[in-house]
Structures are given as structure tokens and as C-alpha cells.
Amino acid sequence: MRNEIDLILKPEFTQQIQNGYPLLMKEYFQDWNKLKEEGSLLHLYDNKKRFIAKGYYGLQNKGHGWILSQNEDETIDSEFFVRKIKEAIAYRKDFFADTQTTAFRVFNGEGDGIGGLSIDYFEGYYLFTWYSIGIYTFKESILEAFKQSVDFKGIYQKKRFNTKGMYLDDKSDFVSGQEAPQPLHVKENGANFAIYLDDGAMVGVFLDQREVRKAIRDKYAKGKTVLNTFSYTGAFSVFAALGGAKSTTSVDLAKRSLPKTQEQFCINNIDLKNQNIIVEDVFLYFKYAVRKKLLFDMVVVDPPSFARSKKHTFSANRDYVKLLKEVIQITNKDGIIVASTNAANFSMMTFGRFIDKAFKDLKTKYKVLKRYSLPKDFRVAEKFQEGNYLKVVFIKKL
């Protein structure tokens, strides 16, 4: 039996939960020491014992649980999950109808009413990502609900929580149905990606950058020399090459980025002749580029929000200005910088200030051409705008 706990919200936090804010923190409760087992259902009341909302206890770096319903009579069971999943699928019906894009998000956590869970679609296969032990305790009924509501070829999963010896039983990420080919070929706006559903934490592409890749291909890349830093599998480089870039240079520290990037070029029939792939620390590459007086017409910079390499720790919040200054110095006049971050701990406005500071420090003028945040399939809860973590700015160096 699932544990159920009644909790009293402190008066100063009651209103925000009543208004629909979905994230829970221990500090919101008078009696938070009652929280023991992750996955416990929480019934939240105000200090006059009036019902406010219900949710679950699950530890993520963002907080300590999520609201599931503001309706006292709603039970959190398979039927509840069926409703949420069907709604989420209906919201993406244009994506399902588009034969040129066969990889997108079908369920985006609190944006679709269940914080801590995302589901991505890859050409008939579905990838579930569980962000806490708490949400993982609902796995059986969520999967049952999913199987009732959706036609699928196969189901995979990733656990994005500290397993601490728990749930280590599953050696593979395969869950149910048919196993996917490795790689699985999917399409994005007509281009191809090779996806590995069962090969570590990441599958080969970050779906949230779809619109940025399209803009690079359709509007910006033609005839340009393009540098793609923190390139991973080279997705931005592939779109730049497809858009007619004169050359691309992809730089990533991870050794496997070399064969993975070659693979993405190959399945898009792009000649590797003008595509350089360099396995190196980006910060060393910048030094090399300055020494060799290399200048690019377009530089994409999309670092992880936090990373540690042998020589550097990088934190987007602390180091983005410095990073941009390196980038500005190796960008041609009238060149384009695509500055991107998925750091959730600062806003688009703060990001704009980082960009401004970097250019001002170098006494260089610039113009912001376009801003992107999450695409439609990465649905954001109206009352939780911080869920819109993606910030991408196209900047022209004047």
C-alpha cells in the first residue's frame, strides 16, 4: 500500500500552491518531518484544515515533490494517468502527423501535469525518463496507463536519480514491446539522426534544440565557416552543412563524439571533406584558434550548465561571460554567434546581461537577431515559467 500523509502548508506558501504552482519544497510544510518514503501521496491543507492540493514526495535537485491535483476527489490511479497521457498525446497531434519529424517530446513533466516524468517519441518507440525514486514508485500504474492509451513499438527508460544500490537490477534500458534497432534512424525536419536508446544516459540528440537547428540550416548557414563548440554528436554541424555551410568544425572533449559525429554526417549523405571533427577541450581550442588567427563566420556555443574537465570547472551561471569573450574574439565581423544555455538557475534577462557584458568588456558592438526558448512539445506549466530553461540567442557581431 502506498503511504498517504496529511501535511499543513505554512500560511506564507499556501497561496502560491492554491494558485497552481506545482513544485513542492520541504520548507512549505509545518510538519515536513513526516515525510519519510519517497512516492508517498501528500494531501495538503491550509492551517484551517481546508484542502488545497495533493501531490507526491520525490527528491530532485529542483525540489522535494510535485502537485498532481487540486481536486480533493481525484484519485491518483491508472485512470488519472490515462487522462494525463491522452491529453499530452492530443496536444502533440501536429507532431504525430508530421512525417518529416519523427522525434519529439510527448510528455514534459509538470507541463503535462506530472512533474518528474518525461516521455520522448522516437519513430514509434517511447523513452520514459524518471527523475526521482518518488515518481519511479508509480512506474507500474503509469506504464499500464500508457499501454492502454498508446500504440507503440517498444518502451525504454532512463533513471535520472541516484540509484544508491536500488533498482540496479535492470541491466538494460529496454522495458517492453519490441527492441529498437541500434541505431534507430529518426527524422527531424527532413534530416536524419542516429539514436541509441540503450547506450548510456544520452541517446544522441537533444530534442529541445529542434527549432534552433532548423533556423541554422534554413536561414544562417549558407556559405559560412561554422564552429560548433561542445558539439556532442554534431547535430548543429549537420544542420549547418545541410544548409550549405562552406565548412564546419565540431569540438568536443568526449572521445566518442568523433565516431558519433561522423555517423550523423554519413546518414545525411554529407561529404566529410569539409567537416572537421576535433576531440579537445574547448578552452584549449580557443587558445589554438587565437594563436592561428582563425576566424569563423558563425560560432555555436552550447555548453553543459555544469562541467568538470581536467583543467577547468565550468558553471554557466559563473563563467558564461568569460566563455562568450573567447567566442567573440574568434568570430568574424558581421559573423553570427549562437549562444545557448540550458541552465535553469538564471533567466533569459540575466542571459541577455551576460551577453551585453561580454561585448562591452571587449568594446565590441552587437545586435540580437533572434531568441529561442523551448519548442511547443516541451510544454511549460503556465504557473511554472522557470520550467522554460532553454535560452538561445542569435547575435550578430558588428
Report the interface residues with ligand SAH, using CB under 6 A: 206, 209, 230-233, 235-236, 251-254, 257, 281-283, 302, 304, 307, 309, 312
Least distance (Å) between residue 248 CB and ligand SAH: 13
The answer to whether 253 touches 231, Cβ cutoff 8 Å, is no
**Which CB sits closer to ligand SAH, 257 or 275?**
257
Nearer to ligand SAH, 4 or 199 (CB): 199
Instruction: Give the nearer residue to ligand SAH in terms of CB position, either 38 or 302.
Output: 302
Q: Cβ neighbours of residue 374 under 8 Å, at least 6 residues apart? A: 208, 380, 388, 389, 390
389 residue type, one letter: Y
Burial 256-282 (b: 16+ CB within 10 A, else e): ebeebbbbbbeebebeeeebebbeeeb
The whole-angstrom separation of Cα 72 and Cα 80 is 13
Buried b (16+ CB within 10 A) or exposed e, 30-66: eebeebeebbbbbebbbeeeeebbbbbbbbbebbbbb
**Nearer Cβ to ligand SAH (150/284):** 284
Task: Give me 167's grid cell.
Answer: 533498482
Residues 187/205, Cβ–Cβ less than 8 Å: no
Please state the closest distance from residue 92 (CB atom) to ligand SAH, in A: 21
Tell which residue, 225, 208, 211, has the closest CA to residue 334. 225
Q: Which is nearer to ligand SAH, 144 or 281 (CB)?
A: 281
**CB of 124 or CB of 304, closer to ligand SAH:** 304
DSSP letter, residue 209: G
Q: How far is the CB of 119 from ligand SAH (least distance, A)?
A: 20
Q: How far is the CB of 228 from ligand SAH (least distance, A)?
A: 7
26: cell is 520541504
What is the maximal distance between C-alpha atoms in the chain?
A: 71
Q: How far is the CB of 251 from ligand SAH (least distance, A)?
A: 6
Query: Residue 80 or 104: which CB sits closer to ligand SAH?
Result: 104
Distance CA 227, CA 240 (A): 10
Give me the least distance between CB of 242 and ligand SAH, in Å please.
15
Which grid cell sits at 52?
A: 488545497
Of the pair 221, 251, the CB lying nearest ligand SAH is at 251
The least distance separating ligand SAH from the CB of residue 176, rounded to whole angstroms, comes to 28
Provide, rounded to whole angstroms, the least separation between the CB of residue 86 and ligand SAH: 31
For ligand SAH, the closer of residues 118 and 250 by Cβ is 250
Residue 209 Cβ, how far from ligand SAH at the closest point, in Å?
A: 5
Q: Say which residues have a Cβ less than 8 Å from residue 48's Cβ, sequence separation at least 6.
A: none
CA angle (346 as vertex; 340, 351 as ends), nearest 5: 45
